[in-house]
């Protein structure tokens, strides 16, 4: 008996239910992208563009001048302006090389060796990050000046004084100030390099140097990001230009730009022309990074990664590494802080008249008045808001920049971000004044000028480029299948990211948040130009005391501000150790297996 064939009737496919969910993901992605694009246009593109256009259109905001002219460009390419640009390029390259080398060495010592007390090095990096370059210069000056601390102690500081106040001093200060950027960028990436690659080299009879040659190419994105950040930060630094370089008669680009803005009448077209050169100079590290990492993948973090063990360092090598860390700490932090603290505790320091004496009157005066409380609270809240917003947008931008295949939009974004780092804060502030003080904005109900909202946007604009660049290294190591695996098991996009990616990036995100908070707290150029009446930022309050020749009071307020910021960093790291899951801390390299 033969069974009759069964005819299966094809049921018509109903595409409606299947297609309901498919547009949601692209739509959400495009919505988030539109928000980020609008933010970049508001805080970076529009203000900077309006300022830089004046290099070719001097009459854009001054009807009395010519609408088109190339005279500002000629001014920037000759005389002292050209010399200042050349000096800036040489100084920035030297400081970036120094900071990147020291950052890699210190990150390897703290992450991969068994030296005791290396955790203190991370604390010292945060402390160095807190001290602006103008404070570092002031600390050295208080020690080395003819009537400074060393002279009062009976020592002759003249040889060191003349050596410091010159090109070598400028390179040294900028290199030391860039060390935290390099350390944070490299250490977060080094913590994610697992042991399997090093073990493979050792299994094939390789030495430690062979293992190092295997690991170093994987560090290329972080090292190049560190170099680019320090280079751009050095090019745009104004604290050293205004103090050390100006006193040493060593012209650099940012001071040339400042003299154009500070002139009477103000010469914004010449300043904009120098600004073009500063932005163009930032293309150099970007080109180098693309040239070396083109068509290569650095994604090594997956679900089966094994953590690297710390190397056993003994004998003379151990003491040599301690000496390196100690000397770096002393020169970068110890000496300038000693000068700053001594100024806050001394009456008559730096004066040739009268005798200097120790006193606590500077601290008593600051604590007993309203000079400290209101500015400290205001700057703390502004820094908190800026750091949180920067991490939210910076992580998204870093993810775009870390993709192996980048389109024209991503490449343009990369150039925009690194170029904005090279733009001095005082120039960005001038662009904000031009843009948001226009009558047309008031006519449509946009009244940001003279408010804390505009200052917040300025803080965000200065913090977003550097923070997103720092996050590129850790994000470049996260394989895309980590999130896809969570999505396959039914997790929503946000939940998949929190479960698969957040444990890997939590430490890097916390470091970037604290970095932004610390830098914003004592930011000066934008604060000076954009602070709202009645809301005095901390840096402006310190500057007002110093401008009034109250050096002791300004130094005392600076010491208190630095201590308060260090407390915030310590509390945040302590809470992370107490509250973060153990797996998160292992991913971040805070604990071993």
Tokens 């290099």 correspond to 55
What's residue 99's pLDDT? 92
Angle formed at CA 516 by CA 514 and CA 522, multiple of 5 degrees: 105
Interval 30-47 mean pLDDT: 71
pTM of the model: 0.72
Least confident of 54-63, 366-375, 398-407, 420-429: 398-407
**Is 67 part of a structural domain of the chain?**
no
- pLDDT (average), residues 360-370: 79
Using N-to-C axis directions, what is the helix angle for 79-112 and 253-262, rounded to 10°? 130
Work out the average pLDDT over 581-587.
69
pLDDT of residue 386: 94
Q: What pLDDT score was predicted for residue 504? A: 74
Is the model's pLDDT at 59 over the cut of 80?
no
Q: What is the pLDDT of residue 175?
A: 92
Q: Which range is most confident: 30-39, 203-212, 499-508, 539-548?
A: 539-548
pLDDT bracket for residue 375 (50, 70, 90): confident
**Owning domain of residue 201:** 42-56+78-291+318-587
Cβ neighbours of residue 151 closer than 8 Å, sequence gap 6 or more: 145, 157
Residue 8's pLDDT band (boundaries 50, 70, 90)?
very low
Q: What is the dihedral of CA 110, 111, 114, 115, to 10 degrees?
A: 0
CB distance 232 to 418 below 8 Å = yes
Q: Quote the pLDDT of residue 11.
A: 45
The yes-or-no verdict on residue 300 having pLDDT over 60 is no
Cα separation, 413 vs 358, in Å, equals 53
User: CB neighbours of 216 closer than 8 A, spacing ≥ 6?
Assistant: none
User: Beta 346-347 vs 357-358: how paired, if at all?
Assistant: antiparallel
The separation between the first and the last C-alpha atoms of the chain, rounded to the nearest angstrom, is: 69
Residue 236 has pLDDT above 60, yes or no: yes
CA distance 113 to 119: 11
Label residue 228 by pLDDT band (50, 70, 90): confident
Spatial contact of 391 and 509, defined as CB atoms under 8 Å apart: yes
| pLDDT of the residue at 90 | 92
pLDDT at 173: 92
Given phi > 0 = left and psi -120 to 50 = alpha, else beta, which region is 80? Answer: alpha
Which residue in this structure is represented by tokens 């960005």? 428
84-98 per-residue burial string, b: 16 or more CB within 10 A, e: under 16: bbebbbebbbbbbeb
The pLDDT of residue 81 is above 90 = no
Summarize the confidence of residues 33-38 as an average pLDDT.
Answer: 68
Q: How far apart are CA 226 and CA 235, in angstroms?
A: 14
The pLDDT assigned to 15 comes to: 46
Tell me the β-bridge partners of 301.
478
Residues 6+ apart with CB under 8 A from 579: none
Report if residue 25 sits inside a domain: no
Residue 444 in 3-state DSSP? coil
- Regarding predicted confidence, which is higher, 258 or 253? 253
For position 592, what pLDDT does the model report? 46
Whether residue 2 has pLDDT greater than 50 = no
Report the domain count for the chain. 1
Q: How confident is the model at residue 194 (pLDDT cuts 50, 70, 90)?
A: low
Residue 21 lies in a domain: no
Amino acid 557: pLDDT: 84
Q: Is the pLDDT of residue 22 over 50?
A: no
Q: Is residue 171 pLDDT above 70, yes or no? A: yes
> Which of 31-40, 116-125, 244-253, 518-527 is least confident?
31-40
pLDDT in tens, 329-361: 888 888 888 888 887 887 766 555 556 667 788
- Please determine, for residue 365, whether its predicted confidence score (pLDDT) is greater than 70: yes
pLDDT at 118 over 90: no
More confidently predicted of 301 and 246: 246
Candidates 5, 212, 25; CA nearest to 108 is 212
Q: What's the pLDDT score for residue 345?
A: 83
186 within domain boundaries:
yes
Residue 70 lies in a domain: no
Helix ranges (DSSP H) in 265-356:
268-281, 283-293, 315-329, 335-344
Lowest mean pLDDT among 83-87, 302-306, 373-377, 452-456: 302-306
Query: Is residue 306 in some structural domain?
Result: no
pLDDT category of residue 456 using cuts at 50, 70 and 90: very high
Lowest mean per-residue pLDDT among 134-138, 344-348, 380-384: 344-348
Distance CA(143)–CA(427), nearest Å, equals 32
Asked if pLDDT for residue 383 goes beyond 90, the answer is yes
Tell me the average pLDDT across 192-218.
58
Q: What is the pLDDT of residue 62?
A: 66
- 372: CATH: 1.10.3720.10
* Residue 144, in any domain of the structure: yes
Pick the residue with more confidence: 160 or 552? 160
Would you state the pLDDT for residue 381? 93
Q: Examine residue 392 and say whether the peptide bond preceding it is cis (omega within 30 degrees of 0).
A: no
Residue 387 has pLDDT above 90, yes or no: yes
The mean pLDDT value for 139-156 works out to: 76
The predicted pLDDT at position 388 comes to 92
Average pLDDT over residues 208-215: 59
Does pLDDT of 201 surpass 60?
no
What is the largest distance, in Å, between two alpha-carbon atoms of the chain? 124
Using the predicted structure, report yes or no on whether residue 493 has a pLDDT greater than 70: no
Residue 330 lies in a domain: yes
Q: What number is the average pLDDT over the span 399-425?
A: 66
Mean pLDDT of 69-89: 88
Higher pLDDT, 438 or 216: 438
- DSSP element (H, E) containing 346: strand 346-347
pLDDT tens for residues 494-539? 666 666 677 777 788 888 898 889 889 888 778 887 888 888 898 8
């Amino acid at each position: 008996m033969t069974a009759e064939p069964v005819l299966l009737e094809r049921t018509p496919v109903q595409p409606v239910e299947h297609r309901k969910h498919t547009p949601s993901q692209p739509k959400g992605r495009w919505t988030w992208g539109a928000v980020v694009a609008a933010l970049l246009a508001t805080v970076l593109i529009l203000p900077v563009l309006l300022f830089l256009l004046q290099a070719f259109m001097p009459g854009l905001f001054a009807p009395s001048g010519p609408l088109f002219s190339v005279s500002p460009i000629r001014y920037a390419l000759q005389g002292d302006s050209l010399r200042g640009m050349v000096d800036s390029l040489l100084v920035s390259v030297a400081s970036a090389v120094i900071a990147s080398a020291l950052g890699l060495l210190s990150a390897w010592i703290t992450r991969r060796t068994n030296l005791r007390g290396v955790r203190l090095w991370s604390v010292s990096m945060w402390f160095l990050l807190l001290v602006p370059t103008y404070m570092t210069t002031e600390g050295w000056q208080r020690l080395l000046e003819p009537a400074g601390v060393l002279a009062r102690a009976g020592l002759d500081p003249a040889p060191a004084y003349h050596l410091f106040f010159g090109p070598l001093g400028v390179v040294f200060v900028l290199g030391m100030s860039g060390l935290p950027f390099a350390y944070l960028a490299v250490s977060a990436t080094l913590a994610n390099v697992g042991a399997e690659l090093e073990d493979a080299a050792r299994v094939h009879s390789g030495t430690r140097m062979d293992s190092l040659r295997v690991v170093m190419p994987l560090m290329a994105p972080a090292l190049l990001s560190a170099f680019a950040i320090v280079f751009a930060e050095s090019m745009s630094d104004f604290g050293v230009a205004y103090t050390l370089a100006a006193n040493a008669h060593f012209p650099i680009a940012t001071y040339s730009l400042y003299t154009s803005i500070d002139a009477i009448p103000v010469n914004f077209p010449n300043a904009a022309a120098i600004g073009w050169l500063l932005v163009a100079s930032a293309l150099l590290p970007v080109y180098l990074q693309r040239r070396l990492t083109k068509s290569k993948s650095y994604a090594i973090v997956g679900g089966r990664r094994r953590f690297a063990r710390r190397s056993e360092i003994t004998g003379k090598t151990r003491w040599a590494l301690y000496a390196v860390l100690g000397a770096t700490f002393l020169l970068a932090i110890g000496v300038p802080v000693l000068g700053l603290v001594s100024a806050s505790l001394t009456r008559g320091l730096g004066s040739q008249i009268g005798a200097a004496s120790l006193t606590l009157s500077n601290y008593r005066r600051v604590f007993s008045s309203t000079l400290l409380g209101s500015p400290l609270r205001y700057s703390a809240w502004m820094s908190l808001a800026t750091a949180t917003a920067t991490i939210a947008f910076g992580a998204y931008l870093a993810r775009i920049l870390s993709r192996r295949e980048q389109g024209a939009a991503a490449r343009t974004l990369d150039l925009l971000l690194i170029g904005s780092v090279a733009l001095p804060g005082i120039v960005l502030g001038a662009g904000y004044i031009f843009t948001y003080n226009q009558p047309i904005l008031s006519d449509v109900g946009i009244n940001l000028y003279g408010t804390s909202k505009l200052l917040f946007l300025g803080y965000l604009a200065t913090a977003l480029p550097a923070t997103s660049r720092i996050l590129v290294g850790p994000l470049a190591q996260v394989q895309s299948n980590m999130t896809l695996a969570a999505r396959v098991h039914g997790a929503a996009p946000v939940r998949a990211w929190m479960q698969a990616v957040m444990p890997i990036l939590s430490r890097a995100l916390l470091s970037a948040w604290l970095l932004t908070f610390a830098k914003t707290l004592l930011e000066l150029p934008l604060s000076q130009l954009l602070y709202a009446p009645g809301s005095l930022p901390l840096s402006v309050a310190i500057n007002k005391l110093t401008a009034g020749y109250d050096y002791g009071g300004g130094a005392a307020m600076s010491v208190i501000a630095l201590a308060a910021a260090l407390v915030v960093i310590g509390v945040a790291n302590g809470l992370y150790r107490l509250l973060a899951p153990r797996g998160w801390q292992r991913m971040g390299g805070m604990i071993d297996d």
